[in-house]
Structure 1
Amino acid sequence: MHLTTLILTLGLLWPVSPPPTEILRGWQPPAGPYGPGHRGIDLAAPPDTPVLAPAAGTVSFAGPVGGRGVLTLTLPGTGTPPLRTTFSPVTPLVKAGTPVRAGTPVARVAPGTHCPRSCLHWGLLRGDTYLNPLPLVSRPPSRLLPPDD
């Protein structure tokens, strides 16, 4: 399934509620598999903020990676290989193999050193290719403001 089609049909939920008021760092795709970049987006979120499944799926990983808690959710019906969404630093609330519905709390934001201040790093992958999760969430419409005088 093409990513543009998914954008129109998936309509992921924000993984924190209410939706974040600030994106601390945006997606910066690496030039190659080992190149520098930012393989997701960082959402401002205080420690202990519930992390919600943005879509129905199955928890495919929940545990530590490099000293940080990580949770990965595999999204069925999103093509081959299926999309996977990742969250860190978190304290998982569910185990690998657990099916979840959209909006189900799956983790809590853990204090960590990923951002200068507390955040949730949200990644999206198809196979080994990192993608930007931001276009897959519904966002409120933009509003134009009058120019300053």
Structure 2
Amino acid sequence: MHLTTLLLTLALAWPASLPSPPLAWPLGPPRPQIVRGWEPPAGPYAAGHRGLDLAAPVGAPVRAAASGVVTFAGRVAGRGVLTITLPDTGDPPLRTTYEPVDPLVTAGTKVTRGDPVATLAAPATGAAGSSGAAGSAHCAGSCLHWGLLRGDTYLNPLLLLRQGPSRLLPVTGQALFAGSGGGTRS
């Protein structure tokens, strides 16, 4: 079998053999449409988008993207917000955030990945909801703003979703592994 054919066969078979990912989409199935992606800010107070906006109708069930403990369920700037802290993810631990939501759980509740934790709320409008973290400021309709933080640092939630193997690049006469002639892995 030609090496390229072998690599393609392995790539197509790989996802089925992987264990389930530690995180999952907070909406769906099916996989939600990303209305606005991660746009990391240049500094702590600079413009950017500190999470993902996922399209969904008001009232859609929001599920825990990972197992953890609810550390906040309440209102911030006129919007319902839910935060789940993920154990064993370093110091400080990772936290996932969801807004605008109507929480179904309270602070201190242990949740498992996939558990319903909230329903998507209508976008906030007016002075209380004008800060623009989610809702009408970013979406033409309704959407869920899904965030990920470590301490005060915002991260891209997509980094935690394993969607299969790494993309394979064409082999062009390079050794596949560093130990077999200095080639690189992708």
Q: TM-score when scaled to structure 2?
A: 0.68
Q: Does 1:134 align with 2:158?
A: yes
Matches within 5 A, 1:27-46: 27-46=38-57
AA of the residue aligned to 1:94: V
How far 1:47 moved relative to its partner? Answer: 0.6
When you count helix as a share of all residues, which structure comes out higher? Answer: 2
> In 2, Cα distance between the equivalents of 1:116 and 1:48?
16
What residue number does 2:117 align with?
106
Matched residue of 2:145: which SS? strand
What residue number does 2:74 align with?
63
What residue number does 1:118 align with?
142
Determine if contact 1:20/1:44 at 8 Å carries over to the other structure: no
Q: Which runs of 4+ in 1 moved over 2 A?
A: 8-11, 138-141
Match 1:93 to one of 74, 94, 104: 104
Determine if contact 2:62/2:119 at 8 Å carries over to the other structure: yes
Which string of whole-angstrom CA distances, capped at 9 and with x for unpartnered residues, describes residues 65-117 of structure 1?
00000000000010000000000000000001111111110000001052221
Question: Is the radius of gyration larger for structure 1 or structure 2?
Answer: 2
Determine if contact 1:55/1:103 at 8 Å carries over to the other structure: yes
> In 2, Cα distance between the equivalents of 1:16 and 1:136?
15
Unaligned runs of 5+ in 2: 1-18, 125-134, 166-186
Structure with bigger RCO (C-alpha 8 Å, 6+ apart):
1
How far 1:132 moved relative to its partner? Answer: 0.2
Determine if contact 2:62/2:117 at 8 Å carries over to the other structure: yes
When you count strand as a share of all residues, which structure comes out higher? Answer: 1
> In 2, Cα distance between the equivalents of 1:25 and 1:140?
23
Q: TM-score when scaled to structure 1?
A: 0.84
Q: Does 1:24 align with 2:24?
A: no
Give percent identity, aligned residues only: 63
Q: Compare 18-27 and 125-134 and name the one that shifted more.
A: 18-27
AA of the residue aligned to 2:28: S
Aligned residue pairs, count = 134
